[in-house]
Structure 1
Amino acid sequence: MKEFPSCFGENGVQVVDSSSSSTTRGAQNVVTCIYQCKLQGRSCLITVSWTKYLMGQGLSVGIDELGNHCLCKVDIKPWLFQRRKGSKNLGVEYGKIDILWDLSSAKFGSGPEPLEGFYVAVLFNKEMVLLLGDLKKEACKKIEHHRVNAHFDHAIFLAKREHIFGKKFYSAKAQFCDKGQVHDVRIECDTLNDPCLVIRIDSRTVMQVKQLNWKFRGNHTILVDGIPVEVFWDIHNWLFGNTIGNAVFMFQTCISTEKGQSASDPSVLKWAYSHEFRDSQLQGLGFSLILYAWKNE
């Protein structure tokens, strides 16, 4: 997981190289979404990260070409509330990138990702490549004011990484297919008394694992909206690690044994955070939800 830089430009925004970010222990409240987009026919990945701090929310937008070449990365100061609305223009190798955002009316739940009342737009050479949020009409008016073509192919939502917190119960929301239903994902795990792992989708039990001392890593296929979803889990840190350790769960649609790794291999969940994971997403493995579950003390 990447932190926001500790120093920012005068306008509350800074363009940084991807190598300047440092790795943390992951206890922050962060949601990261990865989208496949087109920059004038060139495939790219746009990463949007929402972070919640004690002083407020933060937003980060990164654009990477295939081959892991970082075109740009923009971070918005989390504590500057007047910067909830703004734009940033960046010159890159092939042209100009415009990032516009309006979070002034955004409504948040318990997590860092806004629920409604916002938009985030990314344009390349005055053409829209990504538009997030429910204020799409407002965004298009703003864009048309700048004489920008607002007609674009929708980006493909590839993956979501989220840090969730709890003691025995951990919850998240996921949409496993394009324009599909948004589901409530609930993970239940009592590691003290006869350890057992239960996963529910919309209150319906879809998976139960007992004898976790022997099955602390594994995988199982469930059905969601008629689509096979492979569930990987690694709760080794909960059972045998230190008190700040986290468990990792990955829900992967359309995964196959030929393209995936063995679930008994502890590296499979590290792979979920790697460049190889992002490349495999572009090969048609579908959507992935990766949950880092932290125990509240």
Structure 2
Amino acid sequence: MRDFASCLSHGAVQVAHTSSSGGQNLVRCAYLARLRGKPCRVTVTWTKVAMGQALAIAIHDCSKRCLCKAEVKPWLFSKMKGSKVMELDGGGDVEIIWDLSSAKFAAGPEPLEGFHVALVHDLEVVLVLGDLHKQEEHRVLSDASHSDAVMIARKEHIYAKKVYSAKARFLDIGQLHHISIECDTAGVRDPSLEIRIDKKKVLQVKRLAWKFRGNQTIYVDGLPVEVLWDVHDWLFTSSSGCAVFLFRSGQSMEKFLRTCSQNEKEAQAHRFGFTLILNAWKTE
């Protein structure tokens, strides 16, 4: 099987197989957006630390050059509402506007509802996350043009004893699907791996001790989705080891970015794919 890191372009979220004995409370999402009339990649990372939630944002252009990056550290979130300006490489700036005053969180670092985070450049909304009606409370957001950014990749850490759950939308306008990964390695002579999408079994790997790394194509909504797995650490290292799962659909970001020199109409004609990376940690 191809190395996990090579399965994504440099511009997407990289898969890094960690040897740490403990997980991280982190969610990282990559979005394809437009800045100054050209495609760009916006990476948003939510982290949960002892002091609270933290947020990091970076913007790269088509040549993978970093245009700007910034962190909103936990103690700034104590205000729950605010803004911060990032200077762009080459001139100009992007303003981060956030409101988490009514945000609702689960166990993870990413807010579920009751919030918004937006990036604005010259009265153009580059990206907006969260509840759209909250924009009306901010003059800049209410006056700015609409954002058509699309999530193209997501990386998160999930924790379970046996059954791991996640959600994904494999096309930018597609249905939200529920993913279930089941693997029982404790005291099992012949472990197996089973993946379900919306409760329907789409992949089963038997003799997992011999097939701890692999890939297979499944079909979701009639479209091919490539699944890659690496459960080596579950089987051959500590019981709290991390396994990595990758789900990839549609056109890669690398292929899309090669079209940046084409006119806007051609660029907008693309249907975007999506990559989901799950770092799955066993809990006792």
The corresponding residue for 1:78 is 74
Mapped partners of 1:167, 1:246: distance in 2: 12
The separation in 1 between residues aligned to 2:242 and 2:141, in whole angstroms, is 48
Contact in 2 for aligned 1:127/1:148 (Cα 8 Å): no
Matched-pair contact (CA < 8 Å) for 1:28–1:53: no
- Equivalent residue for 1:129? 126
1:202-240: per-residue Cα shift (whole Å, max 9, x none)? 222111110001111111122222221111111111112
Residues matched between the structures, number: 251
> Gaps spanning 5+ residues in structure 2: where?
1-17, 259-269
CA RMSD of aligned residues (A): 2.3
Give the match for residue 254 of structure 2.
279
Is the 1:76–1:83 contact (alpha carbons within 8 Å) kept by the matching residues of 2? Answer: no
Secondary structure, in 3 states, of the residue corresponding to 2:107? Answer: coil
- The structural deviation recorded for 1:161 is 0.5
Moved over 6 A (4+): none
Deviation at 1:147, TM superposition (A): 8.2
1:33 aligns with 29
CA contact (8 A) 1:126 1:148 kept: no
Query: Given that residues 45 and 64 in structure 1 are in contact (C-alpha distance below 8 angstroms), is that contact kept between their aligned partners in structure 2?
Result: yes
**Equivalent-residue separation in structure 2 for 1:147 and 1:228 (angstroms):** 37
> CA 1:234–1:108 in 2, change beyond 3 Å: closer, same or farther?
same
1:54-102 deviations in whole A, cap 9, x for unaligned? 4422211111122322222221222554232110112222312111011
**Aligned equivalent of 2:161:** 167
1:111 aligns with 2:98: no
Task: Give 1:123-162 correspondences, 5 Å limit.
Answer: 123-134=120-131, 136-142=132-138, 145-146=139-140, 149-162=143-156
Q: Which residue of 2 aligns with 1:295?
A: 282
SS at match of 1:239: helix
CA distance, structure 2, for counterparts of residue 153 and residue 56 of structure 1: 29
Whole-angstrom distance in 1 between the partners of 2:243 and 2:153: 18
SS in 2 for 1:78: coil
2:185 partner letter = T
Residues 84-133 of structure 1, C-alpha deviations (whole Å, 9 max, x = no match): 21101122223121110111101112222111101110012231111111
The letter for the 1-side match of 2:281 is W
1:185 aligned residue: 179
C-alpha distance 155-294 of structure 1, shift in aligned 2 (>3 A): same
Name the CA shift for 1:40/1:149 in 2 (closer, same or farther; >3 Å).
farther
Identity across the alignment (%): 52
Task: Determine helix, strand or coil for the equivalent of 1:237.
Answer: helix
Aligned to 1:101: 98
TM-score, normalized by length of structure 1?
0.77
